[in-house]
Structure 1
Amino acid sequence: MSLIGEERKDYILNLLNLEGKVKTTDLVDNLNVSSETIRRYLEELEEENKLKRVYGGAVKINISREEPSHLKREVLHAEEKRIIGRSAATLVEDNEVIFIDDGSTTLHIIDYLLNKKNLTVLTNSVPALYLLIDYKNKELLSGDIFFIGGKVSSLQSRVVGSMAEKMIENFYVDKAFISIDGIMLGKGITSFDEERGQFARKLIDQSKISVVVTDSSKFGQVQFYKIADFNKIDIIVSNVDAPKEWKEQLTQKDITWIQAE
């Protein structure tokens, strides 16, 4: 494959991240190549497990319509999540009130809070709570811990539901760190689960700054429940740079994109 061919394939993947699907006819017009060439590109990308071909084009691979358990989520893209967590933690200042939600990516933030002073940390995540308690008992964490109560999801090791939403209304936080299951320009951020999505939406309302942490596998994905539009997000932390097609709107909506390193 020539360099121009690789650039065309990158264009196709970037368009998938933007829209979640591509049409062969549009690609023929936009790339000024034959339909046979486009079909070959799509076949090669499918063989690389980067998209799924459908009639008339291709769609981004959606591994599952069901949320994996917390234990399974912990091992998916683990190194990317660790890097994202470390970078997100640099946003936390001494004396701040922060919320860490139940995502497997946000969990990694906690390991990098140990040099911060006098934090107040709220969470609805059972694994996050245990980790915070462990660091607190070892005198490695400075500050207070608040656990949001309510309906417990044993599979996801988190608290959600109307009681949790009501409880979070009593708090205002400086920064909320939020994991997501899908992100797409024009569609916003989404979640597999309605209750989790409702809680995350309420959390955004109660925070001065909302920080979305996500690895690139969530780009171009739209899941069941819409959490919020892009204009509700202040910062996005990811393991890669923003898709170039997103950058103009990110600037217009004053969203800061941080590429974790």
Structure 2
Amino acid sequence: MKINRLSEIQKYIREVENVSLDTLCDVFKVSKNTIRRDVTELQKKGLITKVYGGITINQKNPNELFESREPFESREGKNQAEKIAIAKLASELVEDGDVIFIDSGTTTKHMIPFLALKENITIITSNLHVILASIPYPKLNIISTGGVLYRETISLTGIGVISFLKDYNISKSFLASTGVSLAKGVTNISPLESEIKRYLVENSITTSLLVDHSKIDIASLMTYCRLEDLKFFITDKLPPKEYIDFFAANDITLLTPQ
């Protein structure tokens, strides 16, 4: 567990660049003494630099010190047929006149062609791939959240995104995740995006999660919602029985193309 925690702390610092010890305690649910020991170990390895009140990414050579996440283009090419099938199922939940949010991710963007024949659909998104995919379809109304470019997912982030979203009545949100588990819920690797996803779960009428089977039984860095907060769980094949039983017990609709 310590090895896993040290790895996750590295990833977290790479995302936020600098952070206080108190925040690390809150995120990783450990004592300040434990965090101090972890920080000391990472510092000895040359992975971080201690500053007043916290730690920061080592600016000498951050690309070598922190293993980068797999590039978006590489992730997007995996399980593509399955992702398209998931997106098609998700699009069938959208009705004429809906105001929806489409999340960043390698599956969600495939919803766009299936939405093109619907009437008066408004899509709010922070993802540049979704925006670009919508250009050939003039009937789709596209609203961008604006924000700061997050290159890992080619999406826009920042506290201004949540402020922007408060002006809109979103009926349905279609979200992505880097991992799903019964113990940790719906998780994501990016702290910058997790707060946005959390807001959408709490402020949409219905929330749908789009994940292929490779994301199931995986816990990533941060939990942004509980599984029972979802209305629809959309994946490419039936998950393990314990997930099916959990969905049935918590009134979550499981959708698969099989």
Q: TM-score, normalised by structure 1?
A: 0.70
Gaps of 5+ in 2: 1-66
* Distance in 2 (alpha carbons) for counterparts of 1:69 and 1:96: 32
* Distance in 2 (alpha carbons) for counterparts of 1:143 and 1:182: 30
Gap change, CA 1:66 and 1:247, over 3 Å in 2:
farther
Q: Which amino acid in 1 is paired with 2:115?
A: L
State whether structure 2 residue 92 is matched by structure 1 residue 90: yes
Deviations 1:158-178 (A, max 9, x none): 011211122112222111000
Deviations 1:135-170 (A, max 9, x none): 22xxxxx24211011111134210112111221122
* Distance in 2 (alpha carbons) for counterparts of 1:91 and 1:67: 32
In structure 2, the residue matched to 1:243 is 240
Q: Which amino acid in 2 is paired with 1:240?
A: K
* Distance in 1 (alpha carbons) for counterparts of 2:69 and 2:219: 13
In structure 2, the residue matched to 1:204 is 201
SS at match of 1:156: coil
Deviations 1:183-207 (A, max 9, x none): 0112100001111111111111221
* Distance in 2 (alpha carbons) for counterparts of 1:180 and 1:187: 12
Of 166, 189, 192 in structure 1, the residue corresponding to residue 189 of structure 2 is 192
* Distance in 2 (alpha carbons) for counterparts of 1:260 and 1:160: 32
Q: Which amino acid in 2 is paired with 1:73?
A: R
SS at match of 1:173: coil
Q: CA deviation at 1:66?
A: 5.6
Aligned residues between the structures: 192
Q: CA deviation at 1:239?
A: 0.3
Gaps of 5+ in 1: 1-64, 137-141
For the 8 Å contact 1:73–1:104, the answer to whether it is kept is yes
Of 225, 229, 234 in structure 2, the residue corresponding to residue 228 of structure 1 is 225
What is the percentage of aligned positions where both structures have the same residue?
26
Deviations 1:99-141 (A, max 9, x none): 11111100001111111011011110001111212322xxxxx
Q: TM-score, normalised by structure 2?
A: 0.71
For the 8 Å contact 1:171–1:206, the answer to whether it is kept is no
SS at match of 2:141: strand
User: What aligned pairs does 1:112-151 form with structure 2 within 5 A after superposition?
Assistant: 112-136=114-138, 142-151=139-148
State whether structure 2 residue 221 is matched by structure 1 residue 219: no
Q: CA deviation at 1:260?
A: 2.2
SS at match of 2:242: coil
Q: Which amino acid in 2 is paired with 1:82?
A: I
